[in-house]
């Protein structure tokens, strides 16, 4: 014979009168099944709250949610992975703000020097994130400029180290 959670809890309480009156039916059945997992086949579980801890449906639902979440995060990471041009723009902005240039000057420098600086950037694309390295030291094209910037590009942002 198969029991609902409520009926099964009632049967347990009949065996042990007064011992488990402080527990809800669901909690009592969950504890019982932890000790006697073979009794699981005696219980009819509805799709509602009567799914005990360790019930296969609840585990698979949780796993599916985790997988879908991971795939969603990785997909966002792929589509927001910054490009080399984004890094050059960020590097020039960092250099400009560090040296006290206003936004107009930095923007003009970006337009004027962006292509040249981009050719000096070493980048590695790892699909979900990218790494960038820019080193300009005593370059004959850009004398008096000393830049050493390393960064990780992730989710459209840069972590400069």
- Please indicate, yes or no, if residue 67 is contained in any of the structural domains: no
Say whether pTM exceeds 0.75: no
Residues 94 and 42 in one domain: no
pLDDT in tens, the chain (161 residues): 889 999 999 999 999 998 989 999 999 999 999 999 999 989 987 755 445 555 555 567 888 999 999 999 999 999 999 999 899 888 888 878 787 888 787 777 777 777 777 888 899 999 999 999 988 776 666 666 677 889 999 999 999 88
Q: Quick one: 48 and 89 in the same domain? A: no
CA-nearest of 86, 67, 65 to 129 is 86
Asked, for residue 110, whether it belongs to a domain, the answer is yes
What's the pLDDT at 55?
Answer: 53
Q: Could you tell me if residue 63 is inside a domain?
A: no
What pLDDT is attached to residue 117? 79
User: Are 99 and 152 in the same domain?
Assistant: yes
What's the pLDDT score for residue 50? 46
Positive or negative: CA dihedral 8, 14, 19, 24 = positive
CA distance 34 to 86: 55
Residue 129: closest CA among 71, 80, 94: 80
For residue 123, the enclosing domain spans: 84-160
Long-range contacts formed by 63-67: CB under 8 A, 24+ apart: none
Examine the domain organization and report whether 94 and 148 are in the same domain: yes
Region of 138 (left: φ > 0; alpha: ψ -120 to 50; beta: rest) is left
Triad 157, 158, 161: Cα angle to 5°: 160
Cβ-count burial 44-57 (b if 16+ within 10 Å, e if not)? ebeeeebbbeebee
Q: Check residue 95 and give its pLDDT.
A: 78
Q: Would you state the pLDDT for residue 72?
A: 96
Number of domains making up the chain: 2
């Amino acid at each position: 014979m198969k029991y609902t959670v409520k009926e099964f809890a009632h049967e347990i309480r009949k065996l042990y009168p007064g011992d488990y009156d402080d527990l809800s039916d669901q909690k009592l059945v969950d504890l019982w099944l932890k000790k006697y997992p073979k009794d699981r086949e005696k219980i009819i579980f509805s799709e509602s709250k009567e799914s005990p801890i360790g019930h296969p449906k609840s585990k698979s639902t949780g796993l599916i949610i985790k997988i879908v979440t991971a795939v969603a995060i990785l997909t966002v990471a792929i589509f927001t992975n910054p490009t080399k041009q984004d890094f050059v723009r960020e590097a020039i902005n960092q250099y400009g703000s560090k040296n006290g240039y206003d936004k107009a000057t930095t923007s003009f420098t970006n337009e004027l020097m962006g292509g040249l600086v981009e050719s000096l950037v070493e980048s590695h694309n790892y699909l979900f994130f990218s790494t960038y390295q820019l080193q300009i030291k005593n370059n004959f094209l850009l004398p008096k400029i000393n830049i050493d910037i390393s960064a990780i590009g992730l989710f459209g942002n840069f972590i400069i180290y």
